[in-house]
Structure formats: C-alpha cells, structure tokens
Structure 1
Amino acid sequence: MSPLDTRIPAVLLRIDRNPFHHGTLGAVRSLGRAGVQVHLVADDRESPVRRSRYLHRMHQPPAPGSPPAEVAAALRRVTRHLTAPAVLIPLDDAGALAVSALYAELSDRFLLPRPTGDTAERVADKASLARVCARAGVAHPTTVVPESAADAVGAVARLGLPAVAKWSRPWLLPHHTGLRSTTLIGSPHEAAALFERRDEAGSRLLLQAFVPGARDGDWFVHGCAGRDGVVRGGGTGRKHRSWPRSAGLTVSGTWTENRELWSAATRLITSLGYRGVFDLDFRRDAATGDFHLIDFNPRPGAQFRLFADGTGTDVVRALHLDLTHRPVPAPHPLEGRAYVVENYAPLTALRALALPGPREPSPPGELAWHAGDDPGPGAAMRRLWLRHVTRRLCDAVVRRSRRVLALFSFRSGPRELAPAVVPGQKKRADRPESVPSPTREPR
C-alpha cells in the first residue's frame, strides 16, 4: 500500500522551455510510481517526458516571462481536469516565484506551502542571496554588482581571475541569446562584454570571487521543510561532474553524509522560516575548509532523485505527504547511492549499467532517463539528443567555415596589379602603369 494519499493528484509546473530537464521526469516517476495521478504543466513539443507511463496528462504552460496573472490562468485551466485539490509543485525558479506570489489566489484550489513573505524571491535572486547569507552568517563568495562596464573591469581586477559571472535572475534569460546563467570568465574584457548585454539578459550582472575548490569540493543539500518547519527527506551529496564544467548542473553525484553541512543548511532554512522543497549548492574552499553557499533554489533540484531513501521517500514525496497531513517515514539514508545524467555523462552511465562484477557493495543507483519500468522517455531522449548534438555540430562547422572564409578573404583582398604586356610590345615610359578602368556597359 502506498504511504501517499493517492486520492490527491499532483500538478507539476515548469515554465522554462527545456525538453532535457530530467528533474521533471524524476518528479513524474516518483509520484506516479506511488499511485498518484500526475498532471504536468509544461511545453510538450518534443518532450521525452510525455512518453512516461506515469504521466496522466500534459497541459499548456504559460509563456516564459508571463506575469503571475497568466500563470494563475494556466493553472485554473488545469483544475477543470481535477477531481480534488491537487498538490502543486513548481520545478523551476520562475514557477516557484509565481506560485509563492499567488498563494492567496491558489490556495483554495491547490495544496502548497505557505510562503514566508518574499523569502523565495530573496533567495532565488543571486544579488539578494549575498545579503541573505551575510545576515545569516553563512559563507558566500565576495559579490560585486557593477553599474557600468568600467565597474565590471575594476571588479574583476579586485576579485582576481578567474572570476564567476552570474545573472541575478537567470530565469529571465531568453533562449536565443546564447547567454548562460553562470559563466567562468578569464579576462576583464569578458566581464565588460557581458555587462553590455544586460538588457538582453533581463537582469543585473553579478561578479563573484572564484572559490578554489578541493577535489570533489562541490556539494549540494536537498530537503523539504514541512508545515512545522522541520526538514525531512533529502540529504547531502557530493558533485563529481557538472555541465558546463565547474559552473553547471550536476550530471554525476553520490549521496555522501556530511553532518556539518546538513546542520548549516537546516539552520539557514530555520532562520529564514522557509517552507517547502529546497536545493542548495555549496563549494568547499580548499584553503580555509569553509563551505560557501553558491546557489539557493526554492524548488526541487534536478538531481533530487539521488536522495530516494530506503523507504522510497524523496523530497517530492515528502512534500506530498506533508501537505496531505500524512507522516513522512523516518529517514533511511542510502549513503553511497549514485545518480547519473546519461546524456551529459555517457561513459559514467555505461559504467553504472555494466554487468555485475567484483565490487564493493553499494546501494542501487539511478539514471536520470533510463528506467526498466518506464523505457519510453529514455528512448525518446536518445533520439532527441542525437538530433540536438548533430545540429550543434553542424552549426559549429558552419561558424568555423565562415571564420576561415572571412580570414582568407581578408588576406587575399584586392591588390594593385601590373598591366599585361603583349609579347614584343615595349612599355611606355611617359605613362604611369595602372589597371585599366573597366568598360562601362551601354545604357
């Protein structure tokens, strides 16, 4: 029998257009396997998630950048297909902030954590997060918000290179710009160039000191703060691989107990009065040993399934249990459990799928896409990923070819040529050599 109340459906919300968001599939499978009816409000074009046997129905999402009123309208349309108030779980920052702002309007139709003021917005915004950390006494990289390109250059000079550039509200980044939420920069010129693109980005540019991490020095903490403020579910994990490297999402990680980090994270959550699921990213300073809070995401992290414990409880299930007034099972940690996103770390995934052999006993790991009981999304992802990679390679070849042709054209541009001399004809000394003017065409 499922510990979850299967009479209460779940509605997952993701406004960001990203067909490769594996956290969405993880939430669909987690709740669906427990017998919960799962509705997904997300873009379904080419989405591998729509192939999941555990997904009941997909719904049209609001457009990226939509005001809260349009998000509310999209969610109201979903309620026409529900038989009871549903647990509402946003899966990206834009959705989390909209749901927090709309609590009073949505709470009669959905079950959701009661927000504490503007906490979700303050921790999601990278600029205000620095102030939150300062007040809470949590280590955080030195952060500068430049007011001009010259300020950006000066900030990099003070912070040192490499430095980290972030957009304060990355959920506002348009896809067509090619801008990343986080970039490792290696020169003052790069910082100035990014500052000049702030209008495209839609939010302020932040420059942060790069925290030199030790080997495997990147950590993350996931949890769910219940209605009573107690953190349940989740755990501490170590990031082994990320994409992009050193400044991106976790593509390979393991559940690794770290009591010091867990204690620091839960103290921060308690001090903020935060309620709901959270995902915190930390980096351990190789020189001082301090854990610096790098990011605070007020929603499930994409790799949250790493922390599915021995009872099957993860942070998404913990939230459903808490909001339906059911007890969350006592924790049963599976230290050493691994999680791999196979489209970003294929070799690591292949090792995880290798035939059993002599090895140290460890808890069963999980791949983001491949699942024996739900093969559809994995197969669809592989086809879509192949097209994506092929398109990126073709675009790269075209860009490289254009640069080579432009360089060749520059080097072999127009030159002054000597006139041809007919054999037996002497050059005229009283007339300068020149290229004859082209004959005009008759009009």
Structure 2
Amino acid sequence: MRAGKHAARPGAPPRFSRFTAARLEWSDPWRHPDVLAGTLLTFGATQPEPPVLFYEEDGDLLFISRWRETLARAFRFVVPDATLVEDLVDKERFQRLATALTLPVPGARRFDPATERPGELGLRFPVVLKPLTRRPESWDPVAGGAKALRVDTPPELAALWRRLAAAGLPLLAQELVPGAEQRIESYHAYVRPGGEVVGEFTGRKIRTWPLERGESTALELTDASDVAALGRDVLARLRFAGVAKLDFKRDPAGRLWLLEINPRFNLWHHLGAVAGVNLPALVYADLTGAQATRRAPPRARAGARWCRPWVDWRAARATGLPLWRWAPWALACDAKSVVAWDDPLPLLGAAVCRPLRSAARAIAAGYSLEPTGRRRSPSL
C-alpha cells in the first residue's frame, strides 16, 4: 500500500494512520478555499510528480470543481463537468435537471421559510425537508443530526415554520417515498469520459443513526440488477464521467425512486474494495497511466458488510437488537470504519480527540457548564 498525504480536519482518523506520510494544514473549503488552495499548491510544487487528489465531502467536491484549473497545475484528479457538479450538489438545481431529463424523482419544491409565509406547497404529504446544500454546522441544529426532517401534515409544517425560518436556510420539500431506511439502495460507479463503466456495484442500507434519515452505520452489498440498470441509464442520460453514488428508494410496489446523486468518493468505497471492486484504485490507475487492459467491469461480492461499530451499536439497540447478537455480527463484518488490527492508531486518536473537539466547540460557542449541568452564557 502506498503512503498517503492528508489535508483533513484536526483529529480526523486518517491523520493518525501509519499509512499517512504527511499531514497538511487543514482549511475549511467552504470558508477559506483560497487558503486551502495555497496549501495544496505549495505541497504539490514540492512533489516529484503530480499527486492524485481524492475528496469525500460536498465542500471538498465543490472546492476542487471550482478551482480545477488552478489545482490541475499541481495535481491529478477526476471530477465531473463543472456545471453538472453544481447541478448535482444543489438540490433545487438537481430537481430541475431531473425533471427536464424525466428521471424518476419524487415531487419536490423549493421554499424559504425566512422570506415566505406558511402556505400550500402543492405536494402530497408526508414530505421530507432538506437544505439545498447540506452543511452540518448550519443544518444539524435544525435536524438534530438527521439528513432531513419528516413532516406529516400541513399543520405540522406550519408549527415548525418559525424554527425553520430562524435557521435562515432555503429548503427543498420532497414527497416522502414510503418505507424504512433499509429500502434505500444505491448504485456506485466510476465512468470514463465517453461513458465506459470501469467499475460498479450496488448496495443497501442496513441501519442509520438516527434511525430515520440518519447517517449510515451499517451497509451491505447486493446484486440488484434493476438498481444497476437504472443507475447506468441515469448516468448515461447525464453524460456523466467520474465517480458517483446514486441513492434510490424502493417503494412498496417495488418501484425505484431516485433521491440524489453524489459525484464524489465516499465510505461505500471501502466496502467495495474489500468485496473486489476498488473504485478509487481504478481512478488512481487511470490517472497515473497504469490502467489494466480494458475488460468487463469486475463484480463485487454480494453480501459483504460494513459497519461503524461505535455508532451502529446504538442504532442496533434502538431497533431492539441485543448486544449479544449485535457484537458477533459486527465482528464478522468484512469492513469496519476506522477499526483495523494492523492500523489501530486512527481509532485511538479519534477516541482521544473527539471529547476534546466537543469541549472546544462548547467554549467557542460561548457556553460554560454550571455545577448543575445547565448551560449558561458567560457574563459580558
């Protein structure tokens, strides 16, 4: 395995890995993209050949896309067309694009609680509310860590309106596709310019935390031919080139609805690599000129599982799964987030840094704890 260089948040697990050869100063790509670009370009100029860039979050994706011409002077990377990136990340733009291409998306509408009064959305309830572009620091206080908020009736939406308006975020209301989180399935692919699918696999969620519309805590690869076929068709209609994850939800009648497309690297790629389809490695081979002879895309091993143990046990417990049943299941997972017997420091480092970061955020927010445990603002 090659050693990597990381520009990641302080305390992020990759910074502690024995496979990390250098740690770059991190700057928020949302707030300080120019500083981050300067850090990367300074580093890239010292390397004997242009390094390959990988990116996992929406902020990283938008930064690389918007600074692509500058970064290409010192790095190699795969990123879709600039306009398409903006269309896929912004949920309102994605809804317009999907409608124009007749993609199978649920009905949705943009609204801004800060400037509009509660009114008729023209949608069937229940609906889910999402920020147009999700930034955890602004959305998590509204949704409590969930990716979206479920609203069952117009009166419930009206009761939430003041809280939503206070957040100052324009939102997308989307008709809810019935079914549990386990009915969310995904298609993952790396596509070369021209439409050649180099690698692909399908999967489904097992658990999330929070249990509804939360972050994935347990995943499983599948062999869903209809998901793969629809995923390929959607990417072909978009004339997509790059790495993508397409999230679908299967309704009670078995129909697949497209929820979103994420054109970036993600946690699923760890499981895919363990199961035989290493999408980041295929990208790396193309960018470094080491691609193998072109052939049919490899098949991933269906049934391979991934979990994030320290969060998944909470999700499992909330579903009624006892610890004595969950623990052997988790140990048998083919891939585990951060946990690796041959590289234990990421887990240990994250465990130490997490409470320190929480304390730092509390201090930065201007709060302290009274002996009773209640928060109070410091005296001015």
Q: CA RMSD, aligned part only?
A: 3.5
Per-residue CA deviation, residues 241-281 of structure 1 (Å, 9 max, x unaligned), is 01222212221111011111111112221222222211221
TM-score (ref. length: structure 2):
0.81
Q: Distance in 1 between matches of 2:275 and 2:157?
A: 49
Structure 1 stretches lacking a partner, 5+ long: 1-33, 357-363, 404-443
Return the offset for 1:191: 4.1
Aligned residue in 2 for 1:137: 102
Return the letter of the residue paired with 1:333: A
Is the partner of 1:292 in helix, strand or coil?
Answer: strand
Aligned residue in 1 for 2:151: 185
Q: Distance in 1 between matches of 2:67 and 2:29?
A: 17
Q: 1:84 aligns with which of 44, 49, 61?
A: 49
Q: 1:321 aligns with which of 263, 266, 285?
A: 285
Per-residue CA deviation, residues 298-351 of structure 1 (Å, 9 max, x unaligned), is 21122321211554x422112111222332585142110000011211358622
Contact kept, 8 Å, 2:142 with 2:167, in 1: the verdict is no
Aligned residue in 1 for 2:7: 41
Q: Distance in 2 between matches of 1:127 and 1:247?
A: 19
Please say if 1:307 is aligned against 2:307: no
Return the letter of the residue paired with 2:265: P
Q: Distance in 2 between matches of 1:168 and 1:63?
A: 19
How many equivalent pairs are there?
354
Aligned residue in 2 for 1:340: 307
Is the partner of 1:307 in helix, strand or coil?
Answer: helix
Please say if 1:171 is aligned against 2:135: yes
Contact kept, 8 Å, 1:157 with 1:188, in 2: the verdict is no
Q: Distance in 2 between matches of 1:350 and 1:135?
A: 47
Return the letter of the residue paired with 2:39: A
Contact kept, 8 Å, 1:65 with 1:172, in 2: the verdict is no
Please say if 1:375 is aligned against 2:380: no
Q: Distance in 1 between matches of 2:327 and 2:355?
A: 17
Return the offset for 1:167: 0.5
Return the letter of the residue paired with 1:78: F
Q: Distance in 2 between matches of 1:284 and 1:170?
A: 23
Aligned residue in 2 for 1:350: 327
Structure 2 stretches lacking a partner, 5+ long: 314-322, 362-366, 376-380
Aligned residue in 2 for 1:429: none
Return the letter of the residue paired with 1:336: G
Q: 2:250 aligns with which of 284, 287, 292?
A: 284
Aligned residue in 2 for 1:59: 24
Per-residue CA deviation, residues 150-169 of structure 1 (Å, 9 max, x unaligned), is 967434684313x2110001
Contact kept, 8 Å, 2:307 with 2:330, in 1: the verdict is no
Q: Distance in 1 between matches of 2:272 and 2:159?
A: 38
Per-residue CA deviation, residues 93-126 of structure 1 (Å, 9 max, x unaligned), is 1111121122222222111226324101101111
Contact kept, 8 Å, 2:6 with 2:14, in 1: the verdict is no
Q: 1:152 to 1:289 in 2, by over 3 A?
A: farther
Q: Distance in 1 between matches of 2:329 and 2:113?
A: 48
Q: 1:227 to 1:93 in 2, by over 3 A?
A: same
Contact kept, 8 Å, 1:68 with 1:101, in 2: the verdict is no
Return the letter of the residue paired with 2:329: A
Return the letter of the residue paired with 1:254: E
Q: 1:256 to 1:108 in 2, by over 3 A?
A: same
Please say if 1:118 is aligned against 2:95: no
Q: Distance in 1 between matches of 2:199 and 2:163?
A: 39
Return the offset for 1:215: 7.4
Return the offset for 1:225: 1.5
Q: 1:220 to 1:249 in 2, by over 3 A?
A: farther
Q: 1:191 to 1:83 in 2, by over 3 A?
A: farther
Return the letter of the residue paired with 1:166: K
Q: Distance in 2 between matches of 1:223 and 1:334?
A: 15
Q: 1:114 to 1:385 in 2, by over 3 A?
A: closer
Contact kept, 8 Å, 1:309 with 1:331, in 2: the verdict is no
Q: 150-159 vs 325-334, which deviates more?
A: 150-159
TM-score (ref. length: structure 1):
0.70
Return the letter of the residue paired with 1:133: A
Contact kept, 8 Å, 1:221 with 1:280, in 2: the verdict is yes
Q: Percent identity between the aligned chains?
A: 22
